[in-house]
Amino acid sequence: MRALKSLPAAIALFSLAGLISAEVIKDFGKERLNSSPRHAEWVDIKSGGHTLKAFVVYPERKDKAPAVLVVSEIFGLTDWVRSLCDELAENGVIAIAPDLHSGQKFEDLDAARKATSALPKEQVKADLDATADYALTKIPSCNGTLAVCGFCWGGGVTFAYANENPKLKAAYSFYGTAPDSADKVKDIACPVYGFYAENDERVDATIPKAEELMKAAGKKYEPVIYKGAGHGFMRSGEPADPAVREGDKKARDEAWARWKKLLAEF
């Protein structure tokens, strides 16, 4: 299988080894999932010649809600990603996370990196398209508004997908590398909001070029760098993370405050 080539340089996975410790791979999030009052379910989505699994969490509200497509880290659809979907639903949106890794579980970072780099780019886009269409046409409680978010690898995928799906109303890219050429931003039809860590120069170094490209193309791009945070702070800043880091926790709280406001607006 061919590696992802059309997505941003952020998806070059081999540089992640020095940024993510082994402790990060230890999954958590079941406690939130098991205690949540919100309805969640697994759904089957037809994507090309295969069936894609996706996890959906619904908000508790009396009217129809917008949907947010959630793109995971390289570790796949972990309990943490699903718990984040529940947190999104707690804030009033339908969260839908496709299992782009087809149920694979990873014992270490290297295995996750190899599996993700082997995902065919055509399959990733087709699976995201199928999930987006499902949210808009197969979920009766969706109000027809769709956004996308992603973390690390998924953050790079998110920025790239904003250029590929004109139906998106917003894109929230968390510490994923940004586009580096005009053709990767020319078709973006929605605002892109970036959430970055101060101690993440590999990713942060891509921000200025993306700002230049987005400005030249007349697109809205609002990157924010959170002080004291390291790469992956939305995960490593979780109170439930056994290895929670204080600087990341502060950044996560600040990022969530900003994200909640943006979610209420889109």
pLDDT tops 70 at residue 74 = yes
Question: What's the pTM value of the predicted model, to 2 decimals?
Answer: 0.90
**33 lies in some domain:** yes
Residue range 216-256, pLDDT digits in tens = 999 999 999 999 999 999 999 998 888 889 999 999 999 99
Residue 3 belongs to a domain: no
Domain assignment present for residue 4? The answer is no
* 52 phi, psi to nearest 5 deg: -100, 135
Residue 143 has pLDDT above 60, yes or no: yes
Number of domains observed in the structure of the chain: 1
**Is residue 153 situated within a structural domain?**
yes
pLDDT at residue 25 greater than cutoff 60: no
pLDDT average, residue stretch 151-171 = 98
| Domain membership flag for residue 205 | yes
Q: What is the pLDDT of residue 93?
A: 98
Note whether 61 and 90 are within 8 A (CB): no
CATH of the domain at 167: 3.40.50.1820
- The pLDDT of residue 108 is 87
Contact by Cβ (8 Å): 81, 150: no
Which pair of tokens denotes residue 112?
A: 């996750």
185-217 pLDDT, tens digit per residue, is: 999 999 999 999 999 999 999 999 999 999 999
- Comparing CA positions, the residue from 182, 193, 126 lying closest to residue 158 is 193
With a CB cutoff of 8 Å and minimum separation 6, the contacts of 98 are 45, 52, 53, 54, 69, 71, 77, 127, 128, 130, 131
What residues pair up with 40 in beta bridges, in sequence order? 57
- Does the residue 229 lie in any domain? yes
Could you report the per-residue pLDDT of 101-114, keeping only the tens digit for each?
A: 998 988 888 999 99
Q: Would 100 be classed as within a structural domain?
A: yes
Three-state DSSP class for 235? helix
Q: Domain range holding 151?
A: 9-265
